[in-house]
Amino acid sequence: MPVVPDYSAYYSCLREKTLEWLAERGPDDWHRLVMNLNWDHGSHSPRWIISQDACDAGTAQHIFWLAQPDYYTDDALKRRDEGKYFEPEIYEMLLEIARRWKAGAYKTWNKHVFLDTKQCVERSGLRGGDRVNHEFTIPLGIDKPAVGESLEPRPWPTLEEALAMDALNEDLAEGIPDEAGRQCAIYWPTL
């Protein structure tokens, strides 16, 4: 009889272990995780990152624009109020980034650059100061290209590099540290 994976336990474990991994790391690793993030795995990692005092402005900007603030119009709030599809965790995260951005909480902007700022801003049609809905305005300056060092996504590694990265636990496929995936594999025996 085949073993059935325990999806709930697996994803709960991934969330817990990824947050532990983030707590042991710093802004560079947080930004690399966000650059590899698969949003289908939830918003727990970016929500944790944006709440940290050491979160770089470029990382907060990256998370903000990839969370698609243009989706959360007054029509989306109406759907929320009617009990229809709405992603409250993402919306609350956007509000938190906007609040912290306006308060100057993201003090450093010298390490992390969100390379797609221009494309995301153009696609959204929003600029700093624009009203998204009656609760939410785009913070001034979050629509401007960042200054600082770029942490480019890493190209696919050679086999030797992959083995070395695995030994160093540097792979962040889909925003999940390898270490977390290995620790949680017991809940998904086919992995």
Q: Which of 8-17, 85-94, 157-166 has the lowest mean pLDDT?
A: 157-166
Residue 170's nearest CA partner among 32, 49, 62 is 32
Token pair listed for 70: 């243009």
Partners of 137 in the beta sheet?
131
Residue 27's nearest CA partner among 149, 137, 144, 112 is 112
| Rounded Cα gap, residues 8 and 102, in angstroms | 37
Answer whether residue 88 is part of any domain: yes
Domain encompassing residue 106: 25-154
DSSP secondary structure code for residue 131 in this structure: E
Q: How many domains does the chain have?
A: 1
The pLDDT confidence band at residue 108, using thresholds 50, 70 and 90, is confident
Answer whether residue 39 is part of any domain: yes
User: What percentage of the chain reaches a pLDDT higher than 70?
Assistant: 79
Answer whether residue 3 is part of any domain: no
Query: Is the model's pLDDT at 112 over the cut of 70?
Result: no
pLDDT of res. 170: 55
Answer whether residue 10 is part of any domain: no
| Rounded Cα gap, residues 71 and 54, in angstroms | 28
The pLDDT confidence band at residue 95, using thresholds 50, 70 and 90, is very high
Answer whether residue 8 is part of any domain: no
Question: Is the whole-model pTM more than 0.95?
Answer: no
Residue of higher predicted confidence among 170 and 48: 48
pLDDT of res. 169: 43
Query: Is the model's pLDDT at 189 over the cut of 80?
Result: no
Answer whether residue 177 is part of any domain: no
Answer whether residue 19 is part of any domain: no
Mean pLDDT across the chain: 83
Query: Is the model's pLDDT at 130 over the cut of 80?
Result: yes
Calculate mean pLDDT across residues 118-137: 88
29-86 confidence digits (pLDDT tens): 898 898 888 888 889 999 999 999 999 898 999 899 999 999 999 999 999 999 998 8
Contact 153, 35 (CB under 8 A): yes
Residue with tokens 């947050």, as numbered in its chain: 19
Other CB atoms within 10 A of residue 28 CB: 14
Answer whether residue 178 is part of any domain: no
Calculate mean pLDDT across residues 10-37: 91
